[in-house]
Structure 1
Amino acid sequence: MTSLHYAAQAIHGIVVPDSTLARAITEFVRDTETELLFNHSSRVYFFGAIAGQLRGLNANPELLYAATMFHDIGLMPSYSSTELRFEVDGANAARDFLQSYRLDPADIEKVWTGIALHTTPGIPEFMDPVIALTTAGVEMDVLGLTYDRFSAEIREAVVAAYPRTPDFKEDIIQAFYDGIKHKPATTFGNVKADVIADKEPHSHRGNFCSLIRCSHWHG
């Protein structure tokens, strides 16, 4: 079994849901994303689900799997718009995909919101577990914010199933940049503005105070 196939074994009691929908999600994302992003998204699912155990949050596994696996699909050219945040592109792609499976619209909305807010810290943690744990998984795999809350055994098992590249930190920053460099204005107000600034040191990011001062209001 290669890293491109979902793990059959449980990791801390967590498995990829064994359902028609989950298998379709796996196949779709595996065929659409790079191996880097597929493995990253898979780790995000496991870290998010295990974070749920640690926090006492119960998320529907299929919905959490959908949100975590689709969360970066907006970085791919085939799903990247010219004017929307990549997070919204990914959320829209997930919604279109899930609608064909006749899910409850309220459940689809949870997935949409989980993807759309996964780079907006400080808010998702107070929302539905699907939304909160999508961000929790991202924060663990990309930023390592909760690294010490996961045992070495858990971390090693997740990475063994879905390997990190030897230079994942730089690779994922590059993947972010490649997916958003054609629409830097969409990073205004979220963490991806830092990616543009890192790769384009002479770029001028949007400034909230400047927008206020340059508005059409007289005072």
Structure 2
Amino acid sequence: MGESGSPLDPGGPVRISDFPAPDTLAARGALALARQYQSPAITAHGLRSWLWAEAFARVDGITGIDHELLYVAAVLHDIGTVTEFDNHTISYEHAGGHVGVALTAGAGWPAERRARVLEVIVRHNWPHVDVKRDAEGHLLEIATGLDISGARPDALPEDFRREVLAAHPRGALAEEFGACVRDQAARKPDTAARRLVDGGVVAKLAVNPLERL
């Protein structure tokens, strides 16, 4: 799979098999880090977010995506919440973004592309990311919006949503992420975590339509 990839037919059915994980050093390393340090529920959230992002690109007709970048950012976007990478002064998305920078440096990515990992991970917590400014950031933002807050639940085909949930179950995501973001908001009140909590993310997690599929 190249950086831009081949656009899929926006009108066709959507299946997990349409989106093979990139077989690259950075992608394999991202998944290995996620599985080593994150809980199964948080890692499954990252993988679902990647699949939602790829599917949103398809149904919304967004092309020219750096698929490897999107995968790495999606898999690692919450790694800044784990004890080993938590930072007492900066937001969890910035901390996780820097983990992505370190990983991709080891994989040989040039500095400009490494910086994009940080940008995409940070921007997933923005209220809105302009697709024309940052397609990968936009896709991760709307994908995590679906998986956490239940935004645009009917934008992707139900059969696909069920297939993804069967492959990567939600498990204890609502409880785990709710506790995590409350902790981050309490310790770092100037970060996006505070906005998420004040915006009712804990309640949104509990009533996310994906919980009922």
TM-score computed with the length of structure 2 as normaliser: 0.79
Distance 2:177 2:193 in 1: 20
- Residue 209 of structure 2 is matched in structure 1 by none
Q: 1:140 aligns with which of 125, 143, 146?
A: 146
Secondary structure of the equivalent of 1:185?
coil
- Residue 185 of structure 1 is matched in structure 2 by 189
2:76 partner letter: F
- Residue 5 of structure 2 is matched in structure 1 by none
Contact residue 119 and residue 190 of structure 1 kept, 8 A: no
1:27 partner letter: A
> How far off its partner does 1:128 sit?
2.1
Residue correspondence of structure 1 range 104-183 to structure 2 within 5 A: 104-165=110-171, 168-178=173-183, 180=184, 183=187
| Structure 1 residues 26 and 198: alpha-carbon distance in aligned structure 2, compared to 1, 3 A threshold | closer
Aligned length: 188
2:103 partner letter: F
| Structure 1 residues 189 and 78: alpha-carbon distance in aligned structure 2, compared to 1, 3 A threshold | closer
Residue correspondence of structure 1 range 2-21 to structure 2 within 5 A: 11=16, 13-21=18-26
- Residue 29 of structure 2 is matched in structure 1 by 24
1:154 partner letter: F
| Structure 1 residues 197 and 52: alpha-carbon distance in aligned structure 2, compared to 1, 3 A threshold | closer
Q: 2:51 aligns with which of 46, 52, 59?
A: 46
Q: Where does structure 2 lack aligned partners over 5 or more consecutive residues?
A: 1-14, 204-213
> How far off its partner does 1:184 sit?
2.9
Q: 1:69 aligns with which of 75, 94, 114?
A: 75
Distance 1:19 1:189 in 2: 32
| Residue 211 (structure 2) pairs with residue 194 (structure 1) | no
> How far off its partner does 1:123 sit?
2.9
| Residue 62 (structure 2) pairs with residue 79 (structure 1) | no
Contact residue 176 and residue 195 of structure 1 kept, 8 A: no
Percent of counterpart pairs with the same letter? 21
| Structure 1 residues 113 and 63: alpha-carbon distance in aligned structure 2, compared to 1, 3 A threshold | same
- Residue 108 of structure 2 is matched in structure 1 by 102
